[in-house]
A and B are shown apart, each in its own frame.
Chain A
Amino acid sequence: MPEQSNDYRVVVFGAGGVGKSSLVLRFVKGTFRDTYIPTVEDTYRQVISCDKSVCTLQITDTTGSHQFPAMQRLSISKGHAFILVYSITSRQSLEELKPIYQQILAIKGSVESIPIMLVGNKSDETAQREVETKVGETQATSWKCAFMETSAKTNSNVKELFQELLALEKKRDMSLSIDGKRSGKQKRADKLKGKCSVM
């Protein structure tokens, strides 16, 4: 299990080209680049509020292309929460999340207490859609995790994604804004409803 540290580590997984970096960059920097650059691995840090204090939200953007299983295992064992991204324009990209989910399950033992968010990105590309929202939802239900469709390009649901993910963490009371406008209690209420499916 992760060592005791104030950092809260979120790891973003997904196949190559589904928009992991775009999501993270949209969230961290608020920008979107229309370039095509594969990621090796990047980590971003941001201060968030946590249990009436602050902590560092550490977001690890992984590579989708060359999977060295050992690197993936290391990321999983270090991570507290996971974002599994596919592209709604690629059925295959959802398929590729399955072994990653299995790996998380194997390493963490159980996913009950682990915040996991299944994310269908590129929701703006409706003409190319290959994965219906229902399919994503069904997958999320069987994985007992939350689900969302996002678009990093149009900035749809990006901030919400991270908010909901933090809200899923039961061991800590976290919120993106340091001034504590959004209270943890409100988010716990969301949580109790079951999954945080938006849309």
Chain B
Amino acid sequence: MNDICMSLQGDITWNTSLGPSISLKPVPLQSLSELERVRLQEVAFRRLIRCHDLGCHITIPKYGHKHKKSLRKKLDSLSKEKSRDKETSPQAFGIPLSHVIINDRVHKLRHDHQREEQSNTTELMLSFLHLSSGFKRPNKELSSSNSSLSSTPESHNDSPLPSTPDIASRTSRRGGVSVDCITDLDDNQARLLEALQLSLPDEAAGNRKKPRDKKLSLNPIYRQVPRIVDLCCQHLEKNGLQTVGIFRVGSSKKRVRQLREEFDQGWEVHLSDEHCVHDVAALLKKFLRDLPDPLLTRELYTAFIHTMLLDYSKQQSAIQLLIFLLPPSNSDTLQRILSLLSTVSSHAEDSLDTERRKVPGNKMTSRNLATILGPNLLHKQKSSDKEFSVQSFVHAEESSAIISVVQRMIDAYDMLFMVPADLQNEVLISLLETDSDVVEYLLRRRASQCSPTPRRRCSPSRTRPPFRL
């Protein structure tokens, strides 16, 4: 029943019997709920198999499993020797992306703890459990689970915060889904980590085959970008856009190492104007390079490379579908980085400011940026040096494909993270099969995102897809 091919331009309209019909428009990926994002992954996967012949095996990158194990280990070691282990293991570099994000949250909580003394551990734990089982009572948890770790502005203007009808309940909502509210930490760190893990989407991804999507939230996932990435990007956007050869020109190894150590020790690191932009750029590259699994994942390496063999007109949509297969933390982090690179490349040429004075360009076109950052984002080597060595030359010929893929990503950044209407449609149809009761809610929220007036409630059972199933 999903083999109906929609035209990309066609208007896709869903009817809610009591409310007005809703015409699907491209929406930002980050505005989708956790549930929709997991479904989108499956939909994108099927679409790739059906519509693009990439000539290679494609798998949805595994995420939950391997991390669960190591996280478990981490929890064990934490509970055994709390403080010592914490000091020695790096908090940012060379560890999986999801761990970096967890560490960020833990540090943020600890930081908040210093500000707010009042806390209640039980309530805290409860609030996490609420979050993870939010699915069961969508009406109580309608408002947002968003909490940006570093409270940075979104790169796009549409806030993923849904303007839901029950804003009032958000204020009364206790602790709720936002990690910002959690204060107590020290004596319950292991349990807290466990709870945090529950609220992470990779857990959900691991459960995909079990009772379907039972734990997935109907709210957008909080934006999963490591703090270090956010800080570097902000710093470069503020200070580096006019710097000739930003990302290309070398940096001070010593100062970069210092910065790295600070982030690794989990200090409250702040980047100021005194930090040299080349050092910050090098730090960001190093972070990406040191990820045990590359940001675009080893599993999808060949598929990404092979998109360049498709007709030019199909390349972008194939790249987009592959991005939709990425775990949310990878995709969110990629989005943040591409947003920066796109901004940097838009300042490559010399230009005139408002007073018609010449502003020198940074000379870093999307091609140049892709040449330098491509191998940091897309590779399939293991991070350990040994395995890295000789292979890198075997794959040297692939490097031009790597550069082209990343260049396309930078150039098409604006479009890549907008979910086209036809894919949303497939997601909703897929949800209608298994969780028909939530489709109405999702549609209504979408409508409320589009227009300021809240829609009237209507019975979920009367939602109709745009065509007969």
Task: Select from chain A the residue with minimum beta-carbon distance to B370.
Answer: A38
- With A66-B375, A96-B253: A36-B388 Cβ-Cβ less than 8 Å: no
Quick one: which of B394-408 are within 8 Å of A by CB? 396, 399-400, 403
Question: CA separation between A37 and B403, bound complex, in Å?
Answer: 13
CB distance from A11 to the nearest CB of B (A): 13
CB distance from B364 to the nearest CB of A (A): 8
Q: Are B289 and A66 in contact (CB under 8 A)?
A: yes
Render B390-427 as a binary contact track against A, CB cut-off 8 A, 1 for contact: 10110010011001000000000000000000000000
Q: Out of B363, B373, B385, name the residue touching A69 (CB < 8 Å).
A: B385
Task: Select from chain B the residue with minimum beta-carbon distance to A77.
Answer: B389
- With A70-B385, A70-B389: A16-B289 Cβ-Cβ less than 8 Å: no
Task: Select from chain A the residue with minimum beta-carbon distance to B362.
Answer: A36
Stretch of B16-24, B200-208, B244-252, B439-447 that contacts chain A: B244-252
CB neighbours (8 Å) of B372 from chain A are 16, 38, 63, 65-66
**Residue A194 CB within 8 A of the other chain:** no
Q: Are B250 and A40 in contact (CB under 8 A)?
A: no
Q: Out of B250, B289, B375, name the residue touching A15 (CB < 8 Å).
A: B250
Quick one: which of B157-208 are within 8 Å of A by CB? none
Quick one: which of B335-382 are within 8 Å of A by CB? 363-364, 367-368, 371-373, 375-376
**Residue B285 CB within 8 A of the other chain:** yes
Task: Select from chain A the residue with minimum beta-carbon distance to B364.
Answer: A36
Task: Select from chain B the residue with minimum beta-carbon distance to A78.
Answer: B393
CB neighbours (8 Å) of B371 from chain A are 37-40, 65
Question: CA separation between A111 and B6, bound complex, in Å?
Answer: 67
Render B123-167 as a binary contact track against A, CB cut-off 8 A, 1 for contact: 000000000000000000000000000000000000000000000
CB neighbours (8 Å) of B289 from chain A are 66, 68
Q: Are A16 and B248 in contact (CB under 8 A)?
A: yes
Question: CA separation between A68 and B399, bound complex, in Å?
Answer: 14
- With A66-B372, A70-B389, A70-B392: A40-B399 Cβ-Cβ less than 8 Å: yes
Q: Are B252 and A95 in contact (CB under 8 A)?
A: yes
Task: Select from chain A the residue with minimum beta-carbon distance to B403.
Answer: A40
Question: CA separation between A66 and B368, bound complex, in Å?
Answer: 12
The total of interchain contacts (Cβ-Cβ below 8 angstroms) comes to: 75
**Residue A41 CB within 8 A of the other chain:** yes
Question: CA separation between A73 and B390, bound complex, in Å?
Answer: 10
CB distance from B75 to the nearest CB of A (A): 33
- With A36-B368, A37-B368: A92-B250 Cβ-Cβ less than 8 Å: yes
**Residue A93 CB within 8 A of the other chain:** yes
CB distance from B94 to the nearest CB of A (A): 14
* Most B-side CB within 10 Å, residue of A36, A39, A64: A36
Task: Select from chain A the residue with minimum beta-carbon distance to B276.
Answer: A92
Q: Are A70 and B388 in contact (CB under 8 A)?
A: yes
Render A52-78 as a binary contact track against B, CB cut-off 8 A, 1 for contact: 000000000001111011110110000
CB distance from B361 to the nearest CB of A (A): 9
CB distance from A199 to the nearest CB of B (A): 25
Question: CA separation between A60 and B277, bound complex, in Å?
Answer: 29
Render A85-126 as a binary contact track against B, CB cut-off 8 A, 1 for contact: 000001011011001000000000000000000000000000
Task: Select from chain B the residue with minimum beta-carbon distance to A36.
Answer: B363
CB neighbours (8 Å) of B285 from chain A are 66
Render A7-45 as a binary contact track against B, CB cut-off 8 A, 1 for contact: 000000001110000000000000000001111110000
Render B240-263 as a binary contact track against A, CB cut-off 8 A, 1 for contact: 000011011111110000000000
- With A17-B248, A65-B372, A92-B250: A41-B396 Cβ-Cβ less than 8 Å: yes
Q: Are A93 and B250 in contact (CB under 8 A)?
A: yes
Question: CA separation between A96 and B248, bound complex, in Å?
Answer: 13
Question: CA separation between A73 and B278, bound complex, in Å?
Answer: 24
Could you list some 23 contacts between A and B, CB below 8 A? A16-B245, A17-B245, A17-B249, A36-B245, A37-B368, A37-B371, A38-B248, A38-B371, A38-B372, A40-B400, A41-B399, A63-B372, A64-B248, A65-B250, A65-B371, A66-B285, A66-B376, A70-B385, A73-B389, A90-B249, A92-B251, A95-B252, A96-B250
| Beyond A17-B250, A70-B388, 16 extra complex contacts between A and B, CB < 8 Å | A17-B248, A36-B244, A36-B245, A36-B364, A40-B371, A63-B372, A65-B247, A65-B371, A66-B376, A69-B385, A70-B385, A71-B393, A74-B392, A93-B250, A95-B252, A95-B253
